[in-house]
Amino acid sequence: MQVFKLFFKVLKSYKGVILVYGIVSFAVAFLMTGPNSGGAAKKDSDEMLRQTPVNIAVIDRDTGNMGEIVKEFVKKKNKLVDIEENDEAIAYQLYWRAVDYVLIIPEGFQDKLLVGKEPAFEGMSTPGTYKAAYFTSELTMYISKIKGLVEAGYTLDEAVKLLDEIGKEECTVSLASFVNENQHDAATVFLSFVPYMFITLCMGGMGMALMRFNEKEVSARMECSPTPLYERTAGFICGTLFYGAILFVVVMIAACAVSGGSLLSDTRLPYFIVNILAMLLLGLSLGFFAGIVSMGNNMLTGLLNIISLALCFFGGVFVPREFFGESVMKVAKLFPTYWYIENNEMIGAVKTVTPAFKRSLFSQAGIVSAYAVAVFAITVVIIYRKRQVK
Amino acid sequence: MLRYIYKIKIVLRTPVAIFWTLVFPIFLGMLFYFMFGNIDLEQQFSKIPMGVYAEIENENFMQMLNEVKTEDDEPMFDVHIYDSVEEADKALISDDIDGYVIVREKEETESNEKDTSGIDGVLGEDDIMNNSIFSNVGQEVIGGMLPNDMSKEEIISWMIANKDLITDFVKESGNEGVEDFDFDRDMDLDNIAGQVQSMMNNTSSEYEMVVRDMDVGASVIKTFLDQYIQSNEMITKAAADDPGKIMKVISGLYGEGIEIKDIPLKGEDKSPYTQYFFALIAMTCLIASQFGLENGKSIQVDQSALAARRNVAPTPKLSQVVTDFLGTYTIFSAMLMIVLAVVVFVYKQDFGSNAGLIVLNALVGGFTGQAAGTMIAVMSSGDAKKKDSLCVLFFMGSSFLSGLMWADITYYLEEKLPIVNRINPATLIVNGFRSIAVFGNYRQYFTNLATLFGIGVLFILISAAKLRRQKYASI
């Protein structure tokens, strides 16, 4: 009990550091959850299957009706944004992404179209962003249709009217029967940041405490104290587990809060818990490892930042895995965080729990736990070697 | 001068400083490089895997799916055929396909019952059948116009009855070799009638797309399907209106197409992932706050024994503060330049061609970072651990808000809380790089730079004001 109490006394002395890591990691999770999820509320499947509208500005330099026709077309699926027609204003709007695409209808566009020539639009977008790709592709097809109809003898108005009518014809899209409409809800997105929270708080919290215990003077004093080794070990283990339990409870409360309480009655909750516990085990193992190998605060902070960021970037915590190339994906599979995210997404999307789902869940959580055990084993070997050296 | 050299020596013998300023950013840059370095090559277009489960036969649709190509003349879809929805679902679960299409018979309603008023004028011809686009569209048109229950013989009779129109239609198509087209010699009536009959069943098809999520692949499939449905609908309607118009509608629709000419911005960088490297350099600049923090602590008597000794020395405090600042800033700037060089030359990130302005932005960023560290050391009360924590909070928090972990956060903040983007030092540094590399906007660059420098000066003034008044009655 003495060691257990001491463990928390040491932790208390690091409360400032733990608080900073807590604030940073939770702020990252909360800030990234909002815009990356569909919100706490259940998302309508229609909304989920709709293409994301983009902000389009239209600069009409043509004298005909084409500007109005294009603007009406933009409004059907996207947001039409007003823009001042000068280079500086356009660059500023694109810079801050108030506008995703600026479409310019050049002078004489309509006349060329009406006489069967191939007129061209002009467009500006932020380099490297492809948000407006669907819009530009649909627009060119729309204008090609107008051109076809005009060449066939329709007036411009008749062509637009006919296309308006035809434009309502779309294929129906539905979610596969096995997909949960809540797959991108706030709780699922928030829980995808659990690896960052656990790794930083375990390494920065219990890692710091263990490091203090391992300092030369402290460890030497403890060695000659009347407290037997098993009692000290039990004290450490209980302290570590209790610290882990506190982290788990805090994360669950936060997840429930972002889900608006719906997580508590969610059938996916037990599976999320299994996955989170596996990650907690890994976080505690890494904290144990960092606490044993670090020879000072600075070394521990360095290890913490390198390990947490490497695991989180390669595991797909910060950058969605859809952006990974094939070779990066192969490397990513070597990281335990990859399997946590894989599980988290699978649980988020599950609608009916099948034996195959359970098999995947437990095997992937097993991989994360196996990493935790491996890190723990390596640390034990390091302790053993250190003792031999002594 | 001597104190300046001593300060440089002290910093160089501090491994922690070298770790944070050199090793950590280079390591993080290496992570980004492995993740995004070859992403443009790896993300080149590859066929979109999709499935089809056809409840009714629709050769026309299948042919179109297999023949549609990208601008680079590569097949757009990798089509898998499934015999049941369960089989297609399995493929969707295992991520083998991005989505699948169920082709089923369209429920006839009053509004979509076929209009056969234009039968006499609707045509199909050999060349149409041989050209994939014209084949599909031509068949679709005829199928849309003729009643489904026509036998093969009736279709042949219909074609013979419209011999002249078919001949005109073929010749008007403008395809190679159609000038000498002769209906009796060139038309394989039996074959064409067979295809038309098969296609007739297809016009009454409806398409349902089933996806797991509306990702890029699924969006491309949907866009294709919508265009396919709408194009056929348009041609059918035009044919119903005036059969003579079909050819022109088709040629207009599948002709050269409308172009959108890209007007480039003035910058040079084109990769969206360079943003992460901008944020990395911004973070490195702000790591200078650690140096500022140490400087601040080493001049405050209640923080260390060294500070107490320095305080009773005859050297004026201002002189000590200035030499400390300049000494650490010199070393930090040298290390910052190494990191910048590694990012530009080893990790091959394009920061634009104006090297002077890029370096200036980084140096001013480092100055502001160091000033922030000094201010944290001077203004915050408490022990060294607390000051260290505040410093980590400052540079990690500021870097996160500039897009180090999530590149789009600045745009999100611009919508919700734009003031953060105007005053956050890391965002100002990142935007300074973006102004040059992406937008070539020097006005924006200098606005950012001036704000950044102003913030740094403000931090220095606040620290100086606090230090000047500090008296120690007892330590």
Note the pLDDT tens digit of each residue in A323-357: 777 778 888 899 999 999 999 998 988 888 888 88
How far does the CA of residue B193 sit from the closest CA of chain A (Å)? 27
**CA B374 to chain centroid:** 39
Out of A45-49, A286-290, B122-126, the most confident range is A286-290
Residue with tokens 């443009």: B40
Q: Does residue B400 sit at the A interface (CB-CB below 8 Å)?
A: yes
pLDDT digits over B111-129, tens only? 444 443 333 333 333 333 3
Give A35 or B285, the one with higher predicted confidence. Answer: B285
Between chains, do B261 and A35 touch, taking CB under 8 Å as contact?
no
Q: State yes or no: pLDDT of B44 exceeds 60.
A: no
Sheet holding B99-105, edge to edge: A172-175, B205-211, B99-105, B48-54, B77-81
Query: Residue B114's pLDDT is what?
Result: 42
Which residues of A are less than 8 Å from B257 in CB distance?
A: 118, 140, 144
Query: Residue B135's pLDDT is what?
Result: 44
User: Looking at chain B from residue 117 to 156, which residues have their Cβ under 8 Å from any Cβ of chain A?
Assistant: none
Q: State yes or no: pLDDT of B238 exceeds 80.
A: no
Q: State yes or no: pLDDT of B151 exceeds 70.
A: no
Q: State yes or no: pLDDT of B475 exceeds 60.
A: no
What is the biggest distance separating any 2 CA atoms in chain A, rounded to whole angstroms?
A: 102
Which residues of B are less than 8 Å from A144 in CB distance?
A: 252-253, 255, 257-258
CA distance B58 to B77: 17
Average pLDDT estimate for A7-33: 86
Give the dihedral of Cα atoms B310, B316, B318, B323; nearest 10 deg. Answer: -60
Q: Does residue B392 sit at the A interface (CB-CB below 8 Å)?
A: yes
Q: How confident is the model at residue B307 (pLDDT cuts 50, 70, 90)?
A: confident
Least confident piece of the model among A166-170, A190-194, B243-247, B384-388 = B243-247
Of the candidates B212, B52, B225, B49, the one whose C-alpha atom is nearest the C-alpha of residue A49 is B212
Q: How confident is the model at residue A244 (pLDDT cuts 50, 70, 90)?
A: very high
Give A344 or A130, the one with higher predicted confidence. Answer: A344
Q: Is the dihedral of CA B103, B62, B155, B232 positive or negative?
A: positive
Query: Residue B372's pLDDT is what?
Result: 94
The single-letter DSSP state of residue A192 is T
pLDDT digits over B269-287, tens only? 556 678 889 999 999 999 9
Bridging pattern class, strands A101-105 and A120-125: antiparallel
Give B71 or A60, the one with higher predicted confidence. Answer: A60
Domain boundaries, position B433: 2-37+273-469
Please say whether the beta carbons of B415 and B275 come within 8 A: no
**CA A297 to chain centroid:** 30
Query: Residue A386's pLDDT is what?
Result: 80
Query: Residue A282's pLDDT is what?
Result: 96
Residue type, B12: L
Q: State yes or no: pLDDT of B136 exceeds 50.
A: no
Q: Does residue A297 sit at the B interface (CB-CB below 8 Å)?
A: yes
Between chains, do B261 and A121 touch, taking CB under 8 Å as contact?
yes
CA distance B337 to B349: 14
Q: Does residue A309 sit at the B interface (CB-CB below 8 Å)?
A: yes
Helix (H) or strand (E) holding A107: none
From the list B23, B34, B89, the residue facing A328 with the nearest CB is: B34
Out of A6-20, B227-241, B300-314, B351-365, the most confident range is B351-365
Average pLDDT estimate for B92-114: 72
Of the candidates B451, B449, B434, the one whose C-alpha atom is nearest the C-alpha of residue B361 is B449
Letter string b/e over residues B190-205, b meaning 16 or more CB atoms within 10 A of that residue's CB: eebbebbbebbbbbbb
The residue of chain B with its CA nearest to that of A25 is B397
Average pLDDT estimate for B60-82: 80
Domain boundaries, chain A: 2-43+183-389, 51-167
How far does the CA of residue B65 sit from the closest CA of chain A (Å)? 15
Query: Residue A148's pLDDT is what?
Result: 81
Please say whether the beta carbons of B169 and B123 come within 8 A: yes
Cβ neighbours for A371, distance < 8 A, ≥ 6 positions apart: A282, A285, A336
**CA A312 to chain centroid:** 10
Average pLDDT estimate for B252-258: 66
Query: Residue A243's pLDDT is what?
Result: 93
Tokens of B292: 């500022």
Q: Which CATH architecture has domain A51-167?
A: 3-Layer(aba) Sandwich (3.40)
Query: Residue A92's pLDDT is what?
Result: 75
Query: Residue B305's pLDDT is what?
Result: 82
Query: Residue B275's pLDDT is what?
Result: 82
pLDDT digits over B159-185, tens only? 777 777 667 666 665 555 566 767 777
**CA A358 to chain centroid:** 24
Average pLDDT estimate for A45-50: 54
B265 lies in a domain? no
Q: How confident is the model at residue B137 (pLDDT cuts 50, 70, 90)?
A: very low
CA distance B398 to B392: 10
CA distance A242 to A21: 19
B262 lies in a domain? no
Q: Are residues B239 and B309 in the same domain?
A: no
pLDDT digits over B412-452, tens only? 888 888 899 999 999 999 999 988 887 777 888 999 999 99
Residue with tokens 């277009």: B45
CA distance B316 to B3: 12
B42 lies in a domain? no
Q: Are residues B283 and B192 in the same domain?
A: no
Query: Residue A166's pLDDT is what?
Result: 83
Query: Residue B134's pLDDT is what?
Result: 38
β-bridge mates for residue A59, sequence order:
A104
User: Looking at chain A from residue 27 to 86, which residues have their Cβ under 8 Å from any Cβ of chain B?
Assistant: 27-28, 31-32, 34-35, 48-51
Q: State yes or no: pLDDT of B228 exceeds 60.
A: yes
Cβ neighbours for A106, distance < 8 A, ≥ 6 positions apart: A61, A62, A119, A120, A121, A122
Q: Which pTM was predicted? A: 0.74
Q: How confident is the model at residue A38 (pLDDT cuts 50, 70, 90)?
A: low
Q: How confident is the model at residue B40 (pLDDT cuts 50, 70, 90)?
A: low
Q: How confident is the model at residue B267 (pLDDT cuts 50, 70, 90)?
A: low
Q: Are residues B71 and B204 in the same domain?
A: yes
Give the DSSP letter string of B253-274: HSSS--EEEE---S-----TTH
CA distance B200 to B196: 6
Query: Residue B124's pLDDT is what?
Result: 39
Q: Is the dihedral of CA A307, A308, A310, A315 positive or negative?
A: positive
Tokens of B140: 């679709």
Query: Residue A350's pLDDT is what?
Result: 85
Between chains, do B441 and A91 touch, taking CB under 8 Å as contact?
yes
Query: Residue A91's pLDDT is what?
Result: 77
pLDDT digits over B78-88, tens only? 899 999 888 99
β-bridge mates for residue B99, sequence order:
B211
How far does the CA of residue B399 sit from the closest CA of chain A (Å)? 11
Query: Residue A43's pLDDT is what?
Result: 47
Between chain A and chain B, the number of residue pairs with CB atoms below 8 A apart is: 269
Roughly what angle, to the nearest 10 degrees, separates helices A66-77 and A133-151? 140
B13 lies in a domain? yes
SS3 B406: coil
CA distance A357 to A362: 9
- Residues of chain B with pLDDT > 70, as a percent, come to 73
Of the candidates A369, A376, A202, the one whose C-alpha atom is nearest the C-alpha of residue A279 is A369
Its ipTM equals: 0.74
β-bridge mates for residue A125, sequence order:
A101
Q: Are residues B280 and B195 in the same domain?
A: no
Q: How confident is the model at residue B255 (pLDDT cuts 50, 70, 90)?
A: low
Query: Residue B118's pLDDT is what?
Result: 35
How many independent structural domains does chain B possess?
2
Q: State yes or no: pLDDT of B377 exceeds 80.
A: yes
B302-311, long-range: CB < 8 A, 24+ apart:
B302/B472, B302/B475, B303/B377, B303/B384, B304/B384, B308/B475, B311/B472
